[in-house]
């Protein structure tokens, strides 16, 4: 105890009286976990789950979004989402770069709202760490939203259009949802519950992704019909980072290392595991065998579904939410999708609509039913909040959840449409046919693997000569259908192998070295 006492007894400019080093350490750790979900988690998952010819492009779209969001966030985005109110659904933008702002104690919302009678509408939350910790934590949430959205338009969106889309959508769509529900907007004060982003992140990315997929247009017919993952094991690595990183996602939402954080982490993992098992079981029952991709989808829907209420529901409720998140999105993806003309028309590459919009909406509505009053009292800014199953004003809570979802859906459809139509005036939203046929090599001049032969043919007449990273020209291989072992190293290896076989087998096999090498080549 003496060590702990001494650690907090010395007050310095770098450790003011309000600083809680444990909370600050957890918030930075949680932010790092959430950042790892995107970079490298979703970068790896996207690069692995798509067809080989789109591996580099898919990874780059996620990587670019992560970097671009950070710069836009500190320049103006954070304070558009969490700053002083400009409109009931939007805050005033300002930089988050000066030390006078970043070393100040964190505060959400920044502006105080009062009832007509002069009473404070909802109390301000002041975590025990500086604004810099909160700015970075919320950045990772904003970044993963754009990265998730990218999953809907992989394999055909013009990379230049994507580069323009990311900052515009962040500023004119994401910040509106974030301020309305988290930063002191009208839904925040009304008491709509979105514990850690079921609406702000997942419902918005799913709806915006589906809308973007509609305006960008579909992939090539051949890609839509056959789009196998190029590396299932690496895909699982990315999915694992996503799952484990979710502990920071929901564990950091209380803004403190308090008793709500471990409840949220436990519920998150329970729901994800249950959902994965239910999705896999449905695959076995209806298709006769478990699917690894299906298991990843079930994991994802469980993580998304629990997010709106992770720290507010009991663990038995997390199991119930996992059962529903493993079955309802499964039905929407496997059954309703095939019967719906609209869903068939829109080419949502990774099914983000089902895994995030459907699961996020489901989680938000279930939170309106299952939010436990005692847990709500621990953390929510609006008092007496409870799910409908607990009586009282719980029925009103469910209505609030429904209205909040409608606002997020409507805003994302409208804002995403306007942004893409504006970009389309200057940049085509869809890649030209030549790039769509070739993939990464045409778009980036790079390929994921130094291999040929998954059905894609390299046409040297389209690209000329390759240039290495340091300016050294490399001659193109004359072989388009497969690599051939004709290097001097291969010849030497085969000669040594022949001599070894003759020596170890006592001369029983007479091999002509020259003919063996010729045949092998």
CATH class of 26-110+119-438: mainly alpha
Task: Give the C-alpha separation, 53 to 231, whole Å.
Answer: 12
Contact 353, 337 (CB under 8 A): no
pLDDT at 462 over 70: no
The position carrying tokens 């979703």 is 42
**Least confidently predicted of 64-78, 399-413, 468-482:** 468-482
Task: Say whether 7 sits in a helix, a strand or coil.
Answer: helix
Point out which residues pair with 87 in neighbouring strands: 90
Task: Give the C-alpha separation, 310 to 355, whole Å.
Answer: 17
* pLDDT computed for residue 115 by the predictor: 67
Tokens of 109: 């919302």
**Least confidently predicted of 114-123, 278-287, 370-379:** 114-123
Calculate what percentage of the chain has a pLDDT beyond 70: 84
Tokens of 113: 């709202």
If you compute the radius of gyration of the chain from its CA atoms, what whole number of angstroms results?
Answer: 27
Task: Give the C-alpha separation, 467 to 453, whole Å.
Answer: 22
Task: Give the C-alpha separation, 476 to 333, whole Å.
Answer: 43
* pLDDT computed for residue 8 by the predictor: 67
pTM of the model: 0.85
Nearest of 408, 322, 400, 333 to residue 365 by alpha carbon: 400
pLDDT at 519 over 90: no
Q: How much is the mean pLDDT over the chain?
A: 88
* pLDDT computed for residue 112 by the predictor: 76
What's the pLDDT band for 501 if we cut at 50, 70, 90? low
Task: Give the C-alpha separation, 329 to 324, whole Å.
Answer: 8
Tokens of 138: 């919320």
Nearest of 317, 352, 349, 308 to residue 332 by alpha carbon: 352
Tokens of 226: 């056959």
**Least confidently predicted of 185-199, 325-339, 374-388, 451-465:** 451-465
């Amino acid at each position: 105890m003496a060590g702990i006492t001494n650690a907090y007894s010395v007050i310095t400019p770098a450790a003011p009286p309000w600083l809680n080093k444990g909370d600050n350490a957890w918030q930075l750790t949680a932010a790092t976990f959430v950042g790892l979900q995107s970079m490298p988690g979703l970068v790896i998952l996207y690069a692995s789950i798509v067809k080989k010819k789109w591996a580099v492009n898919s990874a780059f779209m996620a990587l670019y979004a992560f970097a671009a969001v950070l710069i836009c966030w500190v320049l103006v985005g954070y304070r558009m989402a969490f700053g002083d109110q400009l409109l009931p659904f939007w805050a005033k933008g300002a930089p988050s770069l000066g030390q006078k702002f970043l070393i100040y104690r964190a505060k959400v919302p920044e502006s105080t709202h009062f009832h007509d009678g002069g009473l404070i509408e909802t109390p301000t939350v002041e975590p025990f760490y500086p604004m810099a910790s909160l700015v970075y934590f919320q950045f990772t949430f904003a970044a993963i939203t754009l990265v998730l959205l990218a999953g809907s338009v992989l394999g055909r969106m013009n990379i230049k259009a994507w580069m323009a889309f990311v900052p515009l959508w962040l500023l004119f769509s994401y910040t509106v949802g974030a301020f309305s529900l988290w930063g002191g907007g009208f839904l925040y004060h009304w008491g709509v519950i979105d514990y850690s982003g079921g609406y702000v992140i997942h419902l918005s990315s799913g709806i915006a992704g589906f809308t973007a997929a509609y305006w960008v247009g579909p992939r090539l017919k051949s890609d839509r019909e056959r789009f196998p993952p190029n590396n299932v094991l690496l895909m699982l690595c990315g999915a694992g980072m996503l799952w484990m990183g979710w502990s920071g996602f929901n564990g950091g939402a209380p803004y403190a290392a308090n008793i709500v954080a471990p409840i949220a982490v436990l519920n998150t993992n329970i729901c994800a595991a249950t959902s994965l098992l239910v999705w896999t079981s449905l695959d076995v029952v209806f298709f006769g065998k478990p699917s690894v991709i299906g298991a990843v989808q079930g994991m994802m829907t469980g993580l998304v579904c629990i997010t709106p209420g992770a720290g507010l529901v009991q663990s038995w409720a997390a199991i119930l939410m996992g059962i529903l998140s493993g079955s309802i999105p499964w039905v929407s993806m496997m059954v309703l999708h095939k019967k719906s003309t609209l869903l068939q028309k829109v080419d949502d590459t990774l099914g983000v609509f089902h895994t995030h919009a459907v699961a996020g909406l489901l989680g938000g509505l279930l939170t309106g039913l299952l939010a436990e009053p005692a847990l709500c009292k621990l953390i929510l800014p609006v008092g007496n909040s409870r799910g409908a199953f607990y009586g009282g004003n719980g029925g009103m809570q469910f209505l609030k959840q429904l209205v909040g979802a409608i606002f997020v859906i409507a805003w994302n459809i409208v804002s995403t449409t306007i942004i893409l139509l504006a970009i389309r005036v200057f940049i085509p939203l869809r890649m030209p046919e030549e790039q769509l046929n070739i993939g990464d090599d045409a778009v980036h001049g790079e390929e994921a693997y130094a291999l040929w032969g998954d059905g894609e043919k390299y046409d040297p007449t389209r690209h000329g000569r390759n240039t290495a990273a340091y300016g050294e020209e490399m001659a193109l291989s004359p072989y388009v259908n497969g690599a051939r072992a004709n290097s001097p190293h291969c010849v030497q290896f085969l000669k040594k192998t022949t001599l070894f076989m003759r020596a170890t087998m006592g001369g029983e096999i007479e091999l002509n070295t020259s003919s063996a090498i010729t045949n092998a080549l």
